[in-house]
């Protein structure tokens, strides 16, 4: 069922983005998680997603595909080919849940990835282990990737992430998961605040 569910979620996210695109900054992106089952299933889902974006007239630059770090450790050529197809359509790729369990970063160089999401376990310990956090961020950025920290819940964590050189953060500090209408209101408020500066 995950393939059908994932297909529906992607289509819904793409339609929502198409409707909102005139009201958001040009670099606005929606992230869509693609499960390993979806990604390793066959090539048809990738083609369907790209066709759907073309039908909506939506540029791929507004979409980020998130895949798990474990998929790259045992990747076959089909995964590389899918990532390249996304890249050709301007869709960026993100690695989710990077943690100490995956000590080698060498495999990241083999794939066309734009973002690496650091697991929230790092964020929770960042104030007490700034040296490790800075080292991880530095290594990832040396590979040419942007760093996203998951699980930011306090201003102290946010300040530590900025000090470590992290590019982006997500977590309850900014917002808990909310329904579509509330998210649109948050987005509108943020745009108005930015315009007022």
Q: Is 27:63 a contact under the CB 8 Å cutoff? A: no
Question: CA-to-CA distance for 113 and 97, rounded, in angstroms?
Answer: 14
The reported pLDDT for the residue numbered 56 is 92
Whole-model pTM above 0.85? no
Place of tokens 């529906």: 8
pLDDT computed for residue 196 by the predictor: 61
pLDDT tens string, the chain, 197 residues long: the values are: 888 888 888 898 899 889 888 777 888 898 888 887 777 766 567 788 888 999 999 999 999 988 877 777 666 777 778 888 888 999 998 888 776 555 456 667 677 789 988 888 778 777 667 777 788 888 888 888 899 988 899 998 898 888 888 999 999 999 999 998 898 888 888 777 766 66
Structure-token match 């080698």, residue found: 104
Query: What is the structure's pLDDT at 75?
Result: 62
**Which pLDDT score, from 0 to 100, does residue 6 have?**
84
* Distance separating alpha carbons of residues 25 and 146, to the nearest angstrom: 19
- What order do you get walking across the sheet with 63-68 strand by strand? 30-33, 63-68, 92-98, 115-118, 146-150, 168-170
């Amino acid at each position: 069922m995950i393939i059908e569910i994932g297909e529906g979620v992607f289509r819904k996210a793409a339609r929502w983005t198409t409707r909102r695109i005139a009201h958001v900054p040009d670099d606005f992106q929606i992230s869509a998680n693609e499960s390993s089952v979806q990604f390793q299933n066959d090539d048809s889902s990738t083609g369907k997603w790209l066709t759907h974006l073309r039908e909506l007239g939506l540029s791929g630059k507004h979409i980020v595909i998130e895949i798990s770090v474990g998929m790259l450790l045992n990747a076959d050529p089909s995964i590389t080919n899918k990532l390249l197809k996304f890249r050709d359509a301007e869709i960026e790729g993100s690695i989710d849940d990077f943690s100490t369990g995956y000590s080698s970063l060498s495999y990241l160089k083999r794939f066309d990835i734009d973002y690496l999401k650091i697991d929230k376990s790092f964020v929770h310990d960042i104030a007490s282990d700034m040296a490790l956090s800075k080292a991880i961020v530095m290594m990832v950025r040396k590979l040419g990737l942007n760093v996203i920290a998951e699980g930011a819940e306090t201003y102290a964590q946010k300040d530590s992430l900025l000090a470590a050189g992290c590019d982006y953060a997500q977590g309850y500090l900014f917002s808990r998961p909310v329904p579509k209408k509330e998210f649109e209101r948050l987005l509108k408020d943020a745009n108005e605040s930015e315009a007022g500066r």
